[in-house]
A and B are shown apart, each in its own frame.
Chain A
Amino acid sequence: MQRGADPVSAARGEALWRRAVVGIPYFWLLVFFAIPFVIILRISFADPIIGAPPFTPLYDAEEGIYATGDNYRFLAEDDLYWVSYLKSIRIALVSTLLCLLLGYPMAYGIARARSTTRNLLLLLVILPFWTSFLLRVYAWMGMLSNQGVINKALMGLGLTDGPVQFLYTDFAVYLGIVYSYLPFMILPLYATLEGLDENLMDAAADLGGRPRQVFFDITVPMSAPGILAGSLLVFIPSLGEFVIPSLLGGLETLMIGKTLFDEFFVNRDWPLASAVATVLVLILILPIVLFQRYSATAERLNRQ
């Protein structure tokens, strides 16, 4: 019998192939997310020691299993961490909102542009990714500094006598985050707005809806999946953002990513840093689960 002619073995081959295709992402998640997370989780229940690795082992032949909740207790008691978490959440929320306010009209404009212009505009949105993220943040440092282009221009125009302090402020952090993550808001918004049936908007106008009413009655609710996806794509990475607050932010910009870095590399308190990271993951899990549930429902509804 020829190879592949046997239907049973063909079906088995197909099933195997399907399992492999589905399995790759799971394997990826296992190796690069689940296992590292378990390691971090395990370190977060250890005590810091001076040595390599700088934490107590989970199992010792003499003392048996050793785990402590001290790190979490310390996290809860020390204001620094609370302030960092809250400030991070605030910065991430405000940045997400700013990205939405800026990104929505941009995405809308791109979606309604002629197809040739549209491709050009999309290219412009993606263009910044052609340069390293780090370089672009450094460029902002140069522009925002006291001798930077912006301050020189302001002084040259006689708007200010001395340089305005932009760099190392919360303002610079917001600017950096909004600048860096805006494309992540625009692209999913564009995708939903572009796919919107324009007849729906026409129908609403035909039934007496003024442009503003049509926008809020139809366009906004219909683009909710894009709004949600874009918001999460901005919110999640900016919550744990480290580069932007450490390069553009000041001493008062206590974001959790920076605190985490300091615990790991400055204080070398790996167990505490791991506890900080674990709590951060727990904070992020809530919106991610909400999003998953929402997009699953949306997909089910779309298929009907």
Chain B
Amino acid sequence: MNEGGREQTARPWEDPQAQPFIRIENLRKEFDGFPAVDGVSLEIYQGELFAILGGSGCGKSTLLRLLAGFETPTAGRIFIDGADMAGLPPYERPTNMMFQSYAVFPHYSVAENVAYGLKKEGLDKAEVNARVEELLELVQLGDFARRKPRQLSGGQQQRVALARALVKRPKVLLLDEPLAALDKNLRERTQFELMNIQDRLGITFIVVTHDQDEAMTLASRIAVMEAGKFLQTGTPSEVYEYPNCRFVADFFGTINLFRGHPETCAPGRVRCEETGTMILVDPDAGHDEAAGGLTVAVRPEKIRLSREPSTQDGHTVMHGKVEDLAYYGNYSVYRIRTDSGKLIQVSSQNAGRSAELTLEWEDQVYLSWPRECSVVLTR
């Protein structure tokens, strides 16, 4: 369909020559004077699977509805493949949407649902039938063409919604919480199916979700949204490893946050308010902005536990005792109470058959992590 999309570099957003496929400029949408989308700018490249991630009411669904044309922006513009979307109603846009509730037409059969968009295009019957059949094969619903939606399971209904949205070969497919209504097993399977289909058709996907795991595994890039604004845009590993603010750091999994002040005379050292100890950080990481103090964030899996204090260079070391531990099979989670009383979460892989370090409740233990794992946050 779009071979060109596949031949682009794997990371087009890093290529200064690459032309964005979707450009959103200062988009703003107010409801009764309250901004739901508050000055959002974004560039998405062809063939991307882009995730917009945020909690409920952050404006992510409004953004999706603005792209689909269900809402008119208060200000700002949207370009898709170079064309300005201003004033274009949904039925004239090169986008199709998969709704969270699926919105499968209950009075039509599966095949009629999928055919609806093509019939509105005025295609002749033979072509409509051929394309409907092709899409139903793609989503593995070939045998269900004559069924009514109420005779299908939730997962099957979702595949009808997907086929219906894809059959028109949109330039952009918008997906609103595509996995939210599915149970855990079906979720994982559907997730891979979605990625597969996206890869095969080369259509640009924009997924809105509140589930960070979903965003991390699905997306080529993620934009984290809060109160109508984008906090951070980046690849899953970027937003996970290098969050740019406390909100983003906290949003993806667990993270230990230490409030502190940089030592003015010794760059790369932050005195932690709560523990009173020193945390080693990257000396170049934005110390100057942090007049009012900063936060050091450390992921639980970056912290190592040992009986003896680490002597490795550039490691932050703290001492505490095991307050809580949970065994999950492939990994264990420990909650360590430091001497100063701060609770720190540590997770470690259980790589060996019997872990080298067997810790029990109340055990004395040292924590350590290398300086590059300390993420300095000023917001």
Which A residues form the contact surface with B (CB < 8 A)?
A: 197, 199-200, 202-210, 213, 217-218, 221-222, 301, 304
Complex CA–CA separation, A203 to B175 (angstroms): 12
Residues on the A chain within 8 Å of B286, using CB: none
Tell me the minimal C-beta distance from A117 to chain B in angstroms: 14
Could you list some 6 contacts between A and B, CB below 8 A?
A199-B99, A206-B70, A206-B91, A213-B120, A222-B107, A304-B151
> Are A197 and B120 within 8 A (Cβ)?
no
Question: Do A207 and B150 form a contact, CB below 8 Å, given A202-B99, A213-B120, A218-B105?
Answer: no
B91 touches A202 (CB 8 A): no
Most buried by A among B69, B95, B103, B151: B103
Q: Which residues of B contact A208 (CB under 8 A)?
A: 91, 117, 120-121, 168
CB-CB nearest 9 A-B residue pairs: A207-B117, A208-B120, A199-B103, A203-B103, A205-B90, A208-B91, A199-B99, A206-B90, A206-B97
Q: A30 to B151: give the CA distance in the assembly, Å.
A: 39
Q: A206 contacts which chain B residues (CB < 8 A)?
A: 68-70, 90-91, 95-97, 165
Q: Which residue of B lies closest to A217 (CB)?
A: B116
Which B residues have a C-beta under 8 Å from some C-beta of A?
68-70, 89-91, 95-97, 99-101, 103, 105-107, 116-117, 120-121, 150-151, 164-165, 168
A205 to B120, CA, bound (A): 10
Q: A141 to nearest B CB, angstroms?
A: 45
Task: Name the contact of A204 in the complex, choosing from B68, B116, B150 (C-beta under 8 A).
Answer: B116
B96 lies within 8 A of A207 (CB): yes
Q: Tell me, in angstroms, the Cα distance from A249 to B141 when the chains sit together.
A: 61
Q: Which residue of B lies closest to A198 (CB)?
A: B103
Residues on the B chain within 8 Å of A202, using CB: 68, 70, 90, 97, 99, 103
> Which of A197, A208, A301: most chain B Cβ within 10 A?
A208
CA distance A123 to B122 in the complex (A): 44
Check A205 against B91 for contact (C-beta < 8 Å): yes
How far apart are the CA atoms of A210 and B96 in the complex, in Å?
15
Bound: A301/B149 CA distance, A:
11
User: Does the CB pair A210–B91 fall under 8 Å?
Assistant: yes
Taking CB atoms, residues of chain A closer than 8 Å to B105 are 200, 203-204, 218
Whether A209 lies near B107 (C-beta < 8 A) is: no
CA distance A112 to B90 in the complex (A): 19
Which residues of chain A are near B150, meaning CB under 8 Å? 301, 304
A199 interface neighbour in B101, B120, B151, Cβ under 8 Å: B101
Separation of A213 and B97 alpha carbons in the complex (Å): 18
CB-nearest residue of chain A to B115: A207
Q: In the complex, what residues of B have CB within 8 A of residue A210's CB?
A: 91, 120
- Tell me which residues across on chain A come within 8 A of B168, comparing CB atoms: 207-208
Most interface-central of A204, A206, A218 (chain B CB within 10 A): A206
Residue from A199, A210, A218, A221 having most chain B Cβ neighbours under 10 A: A199
Distance in Å: Cβ of B166 to nearest Cβ of chain A: 11
Contact A203 B121 (CB under 8 A): no
Closest to B174 in A: A206
Q: In the complex, A207→B163 CA distance in Å?
A: 12
Expressed in whole angstroms, the Cα–Cα distance for A206 and B165 within the complex equals 9
Q: Which of A197, A203, A209, A222 contacts B97 (CB 8 A)?
A: A203
Task: For B103, give its contact among A200, A213, A217, A221 (CB under 8 Å).
Answer: A200
Question: Residue of B at shortest CB range from A213?
Answer: B120
Cβ-defined contact, B107 with A207, below 8 A: no
Query: In the bound complex, do residue B164 and residue A207 qualify as a contact, i.e. CB atoms below 8 Å apart?
Result: yes
In whole angstroms, what is the CA distance A202 to B91 when docked?
10
Bound CA–CA A108/B192 (angstroms): 42
Could you say which of B91, B101, B117, B164 contacts A197, with CB atoms under 8 Å apart?
B101
CB-defined contacts of A197 to chain B, threshold 8 Å? 101, 103
Complex: A207 Cα to B116 Cα, angstroms: 7
- Tell me the smallest distance from the CB of A216 to a CB of chain B, in Å: 12
Across the interface, name the chain B residue whose C-beta is closest to A210.
Answer: B91
Residue of B nearest to A221 (CB): B107
In the complex, chain B residues whose CB is within 8 Å of the CB of A200:
103, 105
In angstroms, Cα B133 to Cα A275, docked, is: 60
Task: State how many angstroms separate the Cβ of A209 from the closest Cβ of chain B.
Answer: 5
For A204, list chain B residues within 8 Å (CB). 105, 116
- Complex: chain A residue closest to B96, CB-CB: A206
Most B C-beta atoms less than 10 A away, residue of A203, A221, A222:
A203
A214 to chain B, nearest CB (A): 8
Q: How far is it, in angstroms, between the C-alpha of A23 and the C-alpha of B173 when the chains are bound?
A: 55
CB-defined contacts of B121 to chain A, threshold 8 Å: 208
